[in-house]
Amino acid sequence: MRGVGGNSLRRTSRCLANVAQRAPFCSRPTHAVPWPRANAHGSSPAAAAASSSSSPDGATTSSSSSISSPGTHTASSSASPVLEIPTTVGPPPPAPGPGVMVAYYADHWKVPLPEGHRFPMLKYAATRSALAGDGSLEGRLALRPASPAALEDLALVHCPQYVERFRLDAMTEPEMRNVGFPWSPQLVGRTFSSCGGTVAATHLVLQQGWGIAGNIAGGTHHAFRDRGEGFCVFNDIAVASRVAIRDYGLDSILVLDLDVHQGNGTADIFADEPRVTTFDMFGDKNYPWKSRRVNTYGLPLPDHTGDDEYLGLLRSWLPRLLAQHRPQLIMFQAGVDALKGDSFGRLGLSRAGLLARNNLVYGSALEAGVPLVVTMGGGYTRPMDASVTCHTDVYRTAAYRLSAWAAAAEQRQQQQQQGTARGRAEEAGRGQSAEAAVAAAAAASGQQ
């Protein structure tokens, strides 16, 4: 059943029309906003975006690391303390090789939070750091800093006035309270870049036509068209899906939301969009309560649901979803807050269960030949180590699966080529035999 969120498309059009009358900012090529403070490294955010030598937690990552260095798809090359948010952003450079998974990150923006804030902001940096330090990912994973999402891409989903009010610190106090973060310029940079990473990953897999790309951020599925909640400001999954429809003409996208919280914002935004199917498995007694929306397929799960029950459901649903909707793109919200002991979740999955979940999703997408984008989502264990381990698993498993799939595909191709060459040789041999037989027959007839 489709959602009860109302006619979001019609509302978006109306909002855009209003904004065009009052503040036609989308007609400008770029928006340079005075940027009052440098980031935690003391350099400009833009310079930090371009830098790859410093890990987010301050530890140094060798630039000669086996992990591919970040690409040139950076926020800005300007050293001046301004954040330039482009109206449009071109497609990112392709993956460095077949079977190499590209994962974007946005933790080069150091977001200041009050002491004791319940959101584990450092988990993004810790996850990237764990991936960057994993030698087994050599040649399998390339980490790239994400650029800010373009205004015209954001406007496919969000009311431009909302985007602008957030950017310029013009949100009301209750609005920011619903989001859950205090406003800061760094939060703006991170939020735009988090969304930009998912959009870039989407371009990448759709240009390839297959494979997996990721964002070590995003999955901000509680963001609505003109408001945010639950630590989400912009809905990266919705924006990237709209970009996929606009730029690649897709008519079937599957949002696979396996975060423990319902993706209410995504469900609301796509309530009247038949080209996007939202499948959501979430804890029934978890937030959101008042703002819950109806997914295309929503599976509310009881407290303490464990591996067997969870995986059984996913195993039965995935083939049906792929067969019925034949998606051309899967947007995987891979939150790990279904882990037992998560401080915001109420389910009881183990790390092994989440690993099996990831493998199931990646294997299904690769076998079906459907490009997949993986985003980070929630994970709130205290301390955060268990969540970081599970988040790291999400990307490591994706890189392994993609790499193995590409190697197998190459092997199949070689076998096919060898088979074709052998067939041609045999055919040629048969031809020679036939010619020889004709010549022999001619000779025999001549003798007679």
Interacting span for Zn ion (CB under 5 A) from 105-113, 144-152, 298-306, 333-341: 333-341
84 binds Zn ion (CB under 5 A): no
259 binds Zn ion (CB under 5 A): yes
Which positions ≥6 away from 226 have C-beta within 8 Å? 15, 158, 159, 161, 162
Interacting span for Zn ion (CB under 5 A) from 12-20, 103-111, 164-172, 332-340: 332-340
219 binds Zn ion (CB under 5 A): no
8 A C-beta contact, residue 4 and residue 272:
no
Min dist CB 287 to Zn ion, Å, is 8
Amino acid at 265: G
Interacting span for Zn ion (CB under 5 A) from 116-124, 235-243, 261-269, 323-331: 261-269
337 binds Zn ion (CB under 5 A): yes
Strand, helix or coil for residue 16? helix
230 binds Zn ion (CB under 5 A): no
378 binds Zn ion (CB under 5 A): yes
What DSSP element (H or E) covers 45?
A: helix 45-50
Judged by CB, which is closer to Zn ion: 92, or 283?
Answer: 283
Min dist CB 337 to Zn ion, Å, is 4
Number of alpha helices (DSSP H) and beta strands (DSSP E) in the chain: 12, 10
Min dist CB 146 to Zn ion, Å, is 21
Min dist CB 282 to Zn ion, Å, is 8
283 binds Zn ion (CB under 5 A): no
Question: Kind of pairing, strands 276-283 and 253-257?
Answer: parallel
Listed residue (344, 348, 332) closest to 394, CA to CA = 332
Judged by CB, which is closer to Zn ion: 197, or 345?
Answer: 345
Judged by CB, which is closer to Zn ion: 167, or 261?
Answer: 261
Interacting span for Zn ion (CB under 5 A) from 252-260, 262-270, 290-298, 422-430: 252-260
Query: How far apart, in whole angstroms, are the C-alpha atoms of residue 69 and residue 61?
Result: 10
Min dist CB 260 to Zn ion, Å, is 5
265 binds Zn ion (CB under 5 A): no
Sign of CA pseudo-dihedral 390, 396, 401, 404: negative
Judged by CB, which is closer to Zn ion: 139, or 288?
Answer: 288
Name which position in 73, 261, 357, 396 contacts Zn ion (CB under 5 A): 261
Listed residue (89, 88, 85) closest to 35, CA to CA = 85
Interacting span for Zn ion (CB under 5 A) from 24-32, 115-123, 200-208, 260-268: 260-268
- Give CA torsion, residues 402, 406, 411, 412, to 10 deg: 100
Interacting span for Zn ion (CB under 5 A) from 95-103, 195-203, 268-276, 372-380: 372-380
Query: How far apart, in whole angstroms, are the C-alpha atoms of residue 101 and residue 368?
Result: 18
Strand, helix or coil for residue 103? strand
Which positions ≥6 away from 193 have C-beta within 8 Å? 49, 75, 106, 108, 109, 145, 146, 147, 148, 149, 217
| Per rule CB under 5 A, count of chain residues that contact Zn ion | 5
335 binds Zn ion (CB under 5 A): yes
Residues that bind Zn ion (CB under 5 A): 259, 261, 335, 337, 378
